[in-house]
Copies of this chain bind each other. A is one copy, B any other.
């Protein structure tokens, strides 16, 4: 029987008995600790460096140190000789640092696996709950070196490759290479077609990319370290794509484009309608988004290559083994996409009719995996397209992305997640139970259908304040520091009002007493800014000479009305979820979407856009759906996780009964009559408080 030795791996603390003569890397794998290696254990990539901390550690005999492993091999010596700076910077000496694929176990030993050698690296993501994301992509790469075929062993190319792959992955132990074993790997058909030529051209030294530990999807000549993937958030209005390095998690490029489907209808309902009314409607909408995605992919690769060229000119950080390589779209091996249910259906060329008609049913909830070539997406033809699951007709794959990014299903506290757009999706709950619903909020919150509304861009007002004594405003403009009143001559010429300033404006109009609790402009106030405009009462925030458009910029009665409807819808949806859950208020509110990132939380609460909650428990997390897509791209386990979470989310449509309509009308008032509001009470003018008190007394 072979002799066994005790080994301990730090920092994980994994320990166990392993056989004499095994490599440290093999032994570590047996104990569940993955050590990197991409050179097929040839001692050339250096990814598997470990530190021998103690030999015979039971006795702590420092003198016997390193006797319990095999001596440094010439391969290792050569590797380290070429890297004096590395050793110096780390303070390591050869013998203490070893290549774990080369170093064999001869006795009890304590080993330290440094961060850079660990199989599963982590990146830190900023979010409501700051946390680390483990990098476990669906694609892993292996260097495979094969003996060329000869007349004695004319085994087929695929079987030769599969065997070599198993050796590289450590599935075949030394000495067992010739035992009959047949591969369980499969090969993608498009990859099979081109593989043989590459193997020969590369003189039987190739890098093999394996998807989900089972399917070979790419064979490249020579040695390659990095794999690439793209995460995409398809919004009704904007499509955002992130090109990522699947090994490091790094974002190499972030590109966005308008969703071209907008010419067929501004919101999802009108696009669904278009596919119903036009026989080729679905085909057109599908092709439009595919074309845009292909354009974004091309742009992203260009951006990434431009960065690489710059880095190549100035830095020495390039690995000595791999020259910096320009990438092509065909090197992108996976895409993960999110989008609302309609975007999901149009992407997958699924007829969205029943999404828009009662009882509002998607074609599929479950995540979809489909080959890039089936959709005409120009990444590797063998690449996989993964679309996150939908939850309901109006709670789509974007919400799945938000859940992945924010993880409400792992909390003890009760979190309320709101993704605000033309439609708002809401998730409420904790690790035990999650509820979801959605509500249309209209385009006002995104600056559309507001007289001088615009997207958040240079020239847009982003903050507004109104002095309650003088009724004079001040504002901030995107791209300019400070308030307009801070300058003698304000340089920021204003063009319009973006979403966050619209919320500010409405809140300030209310706070300053210019509009009442019901949202109506009061007449008879002493200010030139309050006047009858073309479509009713309005309040001028910027005079024509402060603007770049040469016209006064007011907020109108109509604008206030739009916001009232939007906030009432959102508020009633949140309130209904809370009621179903048996809660007064959530422990935390998370606002996702671009809009949520810029609003003044206090003002939003003042006008009743979100339920009352401690202000420092309200977080804005930006594009959580896109973040979720990126996390699912980088960590394949998240896909199973979201699959099981979406299955147990309780979804329901908001009721349409008269009682509910009442609630809705009540919720249009400022702040909102039906609720206590301890956290913003100090902001509410005394006259409003008095009026409300009077009203309640009268009841």
Contacts and interface: CB of A to CB of B under 8 A. Distances in A.
A678 interface: no
Given A149-B359, A358-B151, A364 B157 contact: yes
Contacts of A393: 154
A189 B374 contact: yes
A507 interface: no
A122 interface: no
B363 A151 contact: no
Contact of A359 (B154, B366, B653): B154
Given A180-B648, A182-B647, A366 B189 contact: no
A156 B363 contact: yes
A351 interface: yes
B196 A351 contact: yes
B156 A390 contact: yes
Contact of A158 (B156, B365, B392): B365
Contact of A151 (B364, B643, B653): B653
B359 A151 contact: yes
A158 B363 CA distance: 6
A150 interface: yes
Interface in A121-161: 149-151, 154-159
Given A158-B366, A180-B648, A189-B374, A149 B349 contact: no
Contacts of A392: 154
A368 B354 CA distance: 38
A148 to B, nearest CB: 8
A392 B155 CA distance: 7
Tell me which of A348, A350, A360 has the highest count of chain B C-beta atoms within 10 A of its own C-beta: A350
A308 interface: no
A351 to B, nearest CB: 7
Contact of A351 (B182, B197, B348, B647): B197
Nearest to A181: B647
A193 interface: yes
A180 B649 CA distance: 12
- The quantity of this chain's copies bound in the complex is 2
A349 B193 contact: yes
A43 interface: no
Contacts of A360: 151, 154
B364 A159 contact: yes
Interface in A162-186: 180, 182-183
A149 B653 CA distance: 14
Nearest to A656: B151
Given A151-B653, A370-B189, A156 B648 contact: no
B155 A361 contact: yes
A633 interface: no
18 contacts: A151-B359, A151-B653, A154-B359, A154-B360, A155-B365, A156-B361, A156-B362, A156-B366, A156-B390, A157-B354, A158-B363, A159-B365, A189-B368, A192-B350, A192-B364, A193-B349, A193-B350, A197-B351
Interface of A: 149-151, 154-159, 180, 182-183, 187, 189, 192-193, 195-197, 200, 348-351, 354, 358-366, 368, 370, 374, 390, 392-393, 643-644, 647-648, 653
Given A157-B361, A180-B647, 12 more contacts: A154-B360, A155-B361, A157-B362, A157-B364, A158-B366, A159-B364, A182-B366, A182-B647, A189-B368, A189-B370, A193-B350, A196-B350
